[in-house]
Structure 1
């Protein structure tokens, strides 16, 4: 962006910083940054680490690039050039320190763009694999699509910085070739996503016919709608850079030498980049508002129960002495199936310890009973009812109803949690 006006860089810097703020807020709301740990969750293999850190690294690199150029551009402002008029100050009139920062800033942008292509290529290959998988046991990590993603990712990570390095002699040409190679790669991935969007409703209908869990259908439908919006903004991001890149490598520019079309295309690309990256964040780290509310409700119940009932130590003493314990009614929770109501779960312990009787009524499979537990301090934490996670429900329903749908569909929540990679990959 060496030839663009300071306003374009200010727009880029503003929206990217807003994206960074949203990223921090979303990850904190998601799991208090636990997802950033090296070993976290059941899928903390090399694949998840590559996908997580490549995406989360690309956004700060873009921020460094746009903020750095915004500072330089506003430091030098505009210059009157005879025969051309008022134009942003060319890099030839910058100080040595400012000129020395051009290549590092371009490298940040090219690496960030390469990491972004790694992210979108993985999603493209995965959904092509899933839609065309003909076996329920077909493994993503041993498929041709996974190998295509691995090879394509290596090519992108190597090619983009090399293009910037080999054209560093002329900052304008360096910028043009970086824009052109990166935008053509991203545009091709975006175009390849169109057949997936077109066939995805049919894919969902096939899952319904296969009697796949409703929660899984809901998650995939939400993903499809978000991806449709994201693909639109991906076009807004890539097409302007294709235009600027093609015009920039020509001997005579028809767009890059005019301030209005250059700035307009640059600002449109900023909006497309930030919105599409924000939607990618939501898809990669999907929040479950229902689960978050249930966890908060369960935490409040655990804090409330010791105050409103007999303390844990007294309860254990009464049980040891064989005294009668009155019926203890656990809190009521809503069922995931609205056509069936959850009745109270009542546990009754009779005075005869040798013949306990448990009055267990109808309970939804979406709920599970946590028994009393003794903590490390010696206190007793009373049991409670807590809802199963969506993944646990999917495994429960999958065990009940067998189908030829690939097993990844039942457990899928985000592109980061596809499954366990083979040992040679971990």
Structure 2
């Protein structure tokens, strides 16, 4: 069933989704020409490939859900109470055809929640992939991998069952899916706090080592992205948690107040939109990152205007912001910008 929260909330998210889908696709294509989606990488179950697939499935699913919900909301219309207040028509007054479509739409939402929460738990595995690439260190232990995969599997199994479990209770069928979803976000936020300190630890350890400045710049970038992403997750979680708990009370004071319910829904929707943008830049930060060598990279540099070639090991304190990299057939040249 369609949640009664904020009449235009679905349309707001649907419009954002229709802009985000092509934007994300164009950005990813400009960065790596969809290299992560090539079959040989998907077949190896590479973390970046799996996260990219989950990203597009989630974004498409929630956009489709919001589109159908918007269609139903505006097709069924509103009712005017005796005091002149206009409210969305209760689902109990909907046509049978629209109710069937609404039930189908609910399972779309459950699919989104399942994949979204599975992906958020697997995000820690993606951080491990990144730190392994940048500093050759593990972000999480092998036991944490198993925990993350277990949580992801539980989310995929449980969410589709929620509408079936609460099918005989209209109120719980509306409230519990969202409440369960935001409750799952609580350990995700705790994971995010842990990730912040883990990135900070790697940043401190990278100072003063070979290519330390370049490695640190990468780690700082991902730490900042993690902080922003978790902030948005927290905003959406708090907003919908408050509305969901209030929806279980007899008075439903917050949900019955049009301004407050719309305010919380808009805060959550704003955070939801930022989530997709931040995730895009987490998985695909840009081509400039490809020029940053890690500690395992050996590059021969030639400083233009100097006949003496020098190795990368003699340049730990060099300010790379003042230079540009150009490739020749057998070496990379470092020239002044």
Question: TM-score range, shorter-chain basis?
Answer: 0.7 to 0.9
Residue 370 of structure 1 is aligned with which of 329, 332, 337? 329
Which residue is 1:38 aligned to?
A: 39
User: How many equivalent residue pairs?
Assistant: 312
Give the equivalent residue in structure 2 for 1:99: 99
Once residues 272 and 123 of structure 1 are traced to their aligned partners in structure 2, the CA distance between those partners, rounded to angstroms, is 18
Change (3 A) 1:387 1:19: farther
Residues 269-308 of structure 1 aligned to structure 2 (within 5 Å): 269-289=268-288
How far does residue 343 in structure 1 lie from its aligned partner after superposition? 5.3
* SS of the residue 1:370 aligns to: coil
Checking the alignment, whether the CA contact within 8 Å between 1:12 and 1:267 is kept in structure 2 is no
Contact 1:256 1:262 (8 Å CA) reproduced: yes
Larger radius of gyration: 1
Structure 1 gap segments, 5+ residues each: 293-334, 345-359, 372-384, 389-426
Match of 1:422 in 2: none
Deviations 1:135-160 (A, max 9, x none): x9877797111111111110111112
Query: TM-score, normalising length from structure 1?
Result: 0.64
Q: Is the 8 A contact 1:368 1:387 kept in 2?
A: yes
Aligned equivalents of 2:244, 2:23: Cα separation in 1: 30
Question: What is the alpha-carbon distance in structure 2 between the residues aligned to residue 218 and residue 29 of structure 1?
Answer: 22
> Structure 2 vs 1, CA of residues 243 and 363 (structure 1 numbering), >3 Å: closer, same or farther?
same
Q: Structure 1, residues 341-372: CA drift from partner, whole Å, max 9, x if none?
A: 2359xxxxxxxxxxxxxxx962766766537x
- The corresponding residue for 1:59 is 59
The answer to whether the Cα contact below 8 Å between 1:343 and 1:363 also exists between their aligned partners in 2 is: no
TM-align CA RMSD: 3.5
Contact 1:4/1:263 (8 A) holds in 2: yes
Q: Are the equivalent residues in 1 in contact too, given 2:80–2:87 (CA < 8 A)?
A: yes
**Where does the alignment leave 5 or more consecutive residues of structure 2 unmatched?**
292-298, 313-324
Q: Which runs of 4+ in 1 moved over 3 A?
A: 46-50, 81-85, 124-131, 136-142, 168-172, 209-214, 289-292, 363-371, 385-388
Q: Distance in 2 between matches of 1:275 and 1:47?
A: 22
Q: Report deviation, 1:107.
A: 1.8
- Which sits farther off after the overlay, 182-191 or 28-37? 28-37
CA distance in 2, matches of 1:21, 1:52: 14
Structure with the largest fraction of helix: 2
8 Å Cα contact 1:368-1:386 kept in structure 2: yes
